[in-house]
Structure 1
């Protein structure tokens, strides 16, 4: 593990010599991730993108892209766009990225089951804001807003998310 890797273990996230409380999926950590299981996939994942809500937060990094009202994420394992960012209108099952709550004000995207998705292996493992301490995600990594912003500003191209 390198100093600029993000390491998640037992409710903590380590990055650049600091430790942050985090939440993981309601299904715990698994090596056999499936769509809808609520689990966080064990392993090493690349960081492949970052999105943010420009109407709510300033750009967290110079390479972060704004979330627009039409941005969605396909979670329909029967569709060819499964586990890809898509645009509205989109008639298949999807998640709206421009949410009413603050969870996706900043979204760090991992390469879990991407870009060549295996059907039903799970979609969209993000690092995003937690609902509240101790409250699990649907499989993503949740952080306090100030911690997410601090980390987002310091991620490098080489940064990996390592889930133990």
Structure 2
């Protein structure tokens, strides 16, 4: 581990000498992630992208891409585009990236089960804003808006996310 890694610990997300309060999946951490299990996958993952809502926030990093009105994420295990960003209109099951609430105003993408997704192994482990302090996710890592933005400004493409707890 290095100082530039994001490390999930029992006390929060450690990064660059600080520990930020965070929440993980409602089912805890697992070695055997499955679609819909509500767990955060154990392991070393890499940051492979950053998305943001340009109508709500300034570009957080030079490599961040805007979320458009038609941007979705496929979570249908029968879909050839499973665990990939897709565009509306889109019939298979998906999650809207451009949400009414602020959870996905800034999304940091990990390489969990990507780019060659294993069907049913779980989709989209994001780092995003929490609903409220302590409220668990469906498997993602969630932080306060201020902490998420602070981290987003300082990570790089390829930064590691280490989940071991």
With normalisation by structure 1, the TM-score equals 0.98
Alignment match, 2:161: 161
Task: Tell me, in whole angstroms, the C-alpha distance in 2 between the residues paired with 1:158 and 1:28.
Answer: 24
Q: Distance in 2 between matches of 1:35 and 1:125?
A: 11
Judge conservation of contact 1:13–1:21 (CA < 8 Å) in 2. Answer: yes
Unmatched tracts of structure 2, length 5 or more: none
SS in 2 for 1:34: coil
Mapping of 1:11-90 within 5 angstroms?
Answer: 11-90=11-90
Q: CA RMSD in A?
A: 0.7
Name the SS for the 1:153 alignment partner: helix
Q: Mark the runs of 5 or more structure 1 residues left unpaired by the alignment.
A: none
Structure 2 residue aligned with 1:118: 118
| TM-score (normalizing by structure 2) | 0.98
Task: Provide the secondary structure at the position in 2 that maps to 1:14.
Answer: strand
Aligned residue pairs, count: 164
Q: Deviations over 1:69-103 (max 9, x none)?
A: 00000000001100000011110000000000000
Runs of 4+ that moved beyond 3 A: none
